[in-house]
């Protein structure tokens, strides 16, 4: 194995926090300075490792929120009983360091050569790798039609709202709010079900490529609905984040 060629992938490298952006009350995007980053595909993730002064260390995986060519970013949701996410979303500041390994994951990725039409379905923080796909699609000038259906509890929980709202043309973003909706809400309400998919999902005759990401139960329920709509399982890619 050539030393330098694989260094970025197989070993941990030191990352310095370049910037932090609060997306919602409990979600933050962290931009990392990674001088030896080899580039990445949309949908991939990276592993981080934090080491405390007493030597205790913790590792976690986060989807990369940015497209190749942009600074490497992760978007982290604070879990109330978490050990790492409260630190990343509240304590961490520019200049702090962590270790990063990646990019990881050759399966749950999309590039323009993979074609479409693309159906992206996100549950909560599952939107992160799908946002990377949309950014990559836009940056590469691809005209593959894309639709994102994004399920959140309420409007304040929607991550990247302003950015997602500016997609037009061949990329359509639809939201569903499951817990409460603001007055004059024009989007969907309630959990993703077959009736909603009937309005959003490409017909199977168009040979769409689907990416579903979010909590395990969400992903499995949605995948089942797409299979029932005759999407071949080889064209339904899933990434489970655990949780509910």
Partner 1 sequence: MTSPVSRGFHRLNRPADAAAGKLPPGQHVTTDFPVLSAGPTPHIPLQEWTFSIRRGGETLRSWSWPEVQDMPAETVTVDIHCVTRWSKLGTQWRGVPVRALLDQVEHDAQYVLAFSDGGYTTNLPVKDVRGGQAWLAFDYDGQPLAPEHGGPARLLVPRLYFWKSAKWVRGLELLDHDQPGFWENYGYNNYGDPWREQRYAGD
Partner 2 sequence: MALDGNAIGGLLLEIFGSDMTSAEASCAACGAVGPVAETTVYVRGPGTVVRCRNCTSVLMVVARVRGLNCVDLSGLAALDADPPR
Q: Which residues here bind partner 1, judged by CB under 8 A?
A: 12, 14, 49-54, 56-58, 81-83, 87, 91-92, 96-99
CA distances from 157 to 30, 64, 124, 133, 152 (A): 18, 19, 8, 20, 6
Query: 38, 44, 67, 66: which is closest to 211 by C-alpha?
Result: 44
Q: Which secondary structure element, helix H or strand E, spans residue 30, and what is its range?
A: strand 27-33
Structure tokens at 148: 């994102």
**Binding partner 2 by CB under 8 A: which of 38, 187, 216, 221?**
216
**Alpha-carbon dihedral sign for residues 151, 156, 160, 162:** positive
In angstroms, give the least distance from the CB of 156 to partner 2.
26
User: Which entry of partner 2, partner 1, none binds 24, CB below 5 to 8 A by partner kind?
Assistant: none
CB under 8 A: which stretch of 23-31, 102-110, 115-123, 161-169 binds partner 2? 102-110
Query: Is 146 in a helix, a strand, or coil?
Result: strand
Site membership for partner 2, residue 111 (CB under 8 A)? no
106 contact, one of partner 1, partner 2, none, CB 5-8 Å limit per kind: partner 2
Residue 223 CB neighbour total at 10 angstroms: 19
Interface with partner 2 (CB under 8 A), residue from 106, 113, 186, 199:
106
Partner touching 57 among partner 2, partner 1, none, CB below 5 to 8 Å by kind: partner 1
Task: Please report whether residue 238 would count as binding partner 2 according to CB under 8 A.
Answer: yes
Assess 126 for contact with partner 2 (CB under 8 A): no
Question: Smallest distance, Å, CB 172 to partner 2?
Answer: 26
66 three-state secondary structure: coil
Q: Is the dihedral of CA 74, 130, 123, 156 positive or negative?
A: positive
Binding-site partner at residue 156 among partner 2, partner 1, none, CB < 5 to 8 Å by type: none
For the bound state, the minimum distance from the C-beta of residue 2 to partner 2, rounded and expressed in Å, comes to 12
């Amino acid at each position: 194995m050539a030393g330098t060629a694989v260094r970025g992938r197989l070993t941990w490298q030191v990352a310095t926090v370049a910037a932090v952006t609060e997306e919602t009350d409990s979600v933050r995007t962290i931009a990392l300075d990674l001088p030896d980053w080899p580039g990445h595909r949309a949908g991939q993730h990276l592993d981080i490792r934090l080491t405390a002064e007493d030597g205790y260390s913790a590792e976690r995986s986060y989807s990369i929120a940015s497209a190749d060519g942009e600074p490497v970013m992760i978007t982290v949701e604070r879990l109330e009983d978490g050990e790492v996410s409260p630190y990343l979303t509240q304590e961490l500041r520019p200049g702090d360091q962590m270790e990063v390994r990646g990019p990881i994951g050759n399966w749950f990725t999309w590039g323009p050569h993979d074609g479409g039409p693309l159906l992206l379905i996100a549950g909560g923080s599952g939107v992160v790798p799908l946002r990377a796909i949309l950014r990559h699609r836009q940056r590469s000038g691809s005209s593959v039609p894309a639709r994102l259906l994004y399920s959140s509890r309420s409007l304040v929980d929607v991550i990247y709202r302003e950015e997602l709202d500016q997609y037009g043309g061949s990329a359509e973003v639809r939201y569903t709010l499951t817990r409460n909706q603001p007055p004059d809400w024009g989007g969907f309400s309630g959990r993703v079900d077959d009736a909603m998919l009937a309005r959003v999902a490409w017909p199977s005759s168009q040979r769409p490529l689907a990416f579903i990401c979010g909590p395990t139960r969400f992903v499995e329920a949605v995948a089942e609905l797409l299979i029932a709509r005759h999407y071949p399982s080889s064209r339904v890619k899933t990434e489970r984040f655990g949780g509910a």
